[in-house]
Amino acid sequence: MLADLEELVRCESFSADHEALARSAEVVGAMGERILGTAPEMIVVDGVPHLRWVFGSPRVLLMGHHDTVWPMGSLRTHPWSVVDGIARGPGVLDMKSGLVQLFHALASLPSRDGVCVLVNGDEEVGSPTSRELIEESARGCAAAFVLEASANESGALKVARKGTSRYEVVVHGKAAHAGLEPEKGVNAAVEAAHQVLAIAGLAASMAGVDSALGAPTVTPTLLSAGSTLNTVPARATVSVDVRVPTKQTQDRIDDLIRELPVRTVGARLEVLGGKRRPPMEPASSAALFALAAAIAEELGQEPLRGLAVGGASDGNYTAGVGCPTLDGIGGVGSGAHADSEHVLVAQLIPRSELLARLIERTRR
């Protein structure tokens, strides 16, 4: 398993580099074929390669991704290493260790019938080219297991995730000379300032909306306005990041953003973007987590914990189409996306054993 993990980590796969993703897909596909005895279907959408193995009529979906957030060349500053039982390298936790565990868990079973394996190449950027494929694969399955990393170094599983929405609020104004006749312009920057305050206040207007995932957040992020120092800005933009605990909250915030009132006479608002990943609510994982906890006890492993987390994954999509979903079954470690990213080597086999028994129990 360590040799396989090293091979994947040494094959850099930055989400924005399609050539690197193509090389990564070949390596992952060859590894899966060697371990599982079957070549994958290669599905390329808008230049992004995804891999799928289908064994019989799937009842269980195993989800992973081979892209990472690490830019090409990161191996020079974050080389592969295994020291004192800790493996390091770009993407080692998120989520190349999960892929290795997936392949070896499935290979340990006497039969792979009833399983679909989907490894996409754009999860780190929101799965824009693979969402339809994910949802299609999840519909009708009894369970989806997402091989994202555990929630912490204790191996906690991820039993709920907030949903995400992204917007760009575009303010259209009217240019004019800032010194000679500013009154003839419509200042998009001033209107954008009003909108930033209004958007930041939307979460407060949702007071009382809470769950195991916590309250929703609505955060203005990137701002831009104007063209030159002596021109009344004719255009401004405000980017907005939204995280929600429930689909109802996601729908309500979407309505509020699209209904933002204009404060500056003559200005016009245009709202781009919208809802992205639906929330993975606790009910979608409850039965599977109870099963996983029972299996961990059977295996003599430490008691499992389930945590709700704010970040999104492809488990949001599988849960969103009604497929029971359990996330965070992959590598155990911490530091995803950070210089400290690492995996605890001692947990590779126990997590694979846990996944193998979960597959057996849910595909019947």
- Bridge partners of 146, per DSSP, are 63
* Residue scoring higher pLDDT (209 or 303): 303
Q: For 135-177, what is each residue's pLDDT tens digit?
A: 999 999 999 999 999 999 999 999 999 999 999 999 999 999 9
Q: Which residues are catalytic?
A: 67, 123
- DSSP-assigned states of every residue in 49-111: EEEEEEESS-SEEEEEE--BSPPTTHHHHS--EEETTEEESTTIIIIIHHHHHHHHHHHTSS-
Q: Is the pLDDT of residue 210 over 60?
A: no
pLDDT for the residue 212: 66
Q: pTM for this one?
A: 0.89
**Comparing 2-162+279-362 with 163-275, is the CATH topology the same?**
no
Answer for the pair 293, 303: CB distance below 8 angstroms, yes or no: yes
Write down the CATH number for the domain with range 163-275.
3.30.70.360
pLDDT for the residue 206: 76
Domain boundaries, the chain: 2-162+279-362, 163-275
- When pLDDT is cut at 50, 70 and 90, the band that residue 211 belongs to is low
> Residue 22 has which token pair?
């193509």
Domain 2-162+279-362: top CATH class: alpha beta
Q: Of all residues in the chain, what percent carry a pLDDT higher than 70?
A: 98
Q: Is the pLDDT of residue 17 over 90?
A: yes
Mean pLDDT of the chain: 96
- When pLDDT is cut at 50, 70 and 90, the band that residue 205 belongs to is confident
pLDDT for the residue 209: 59
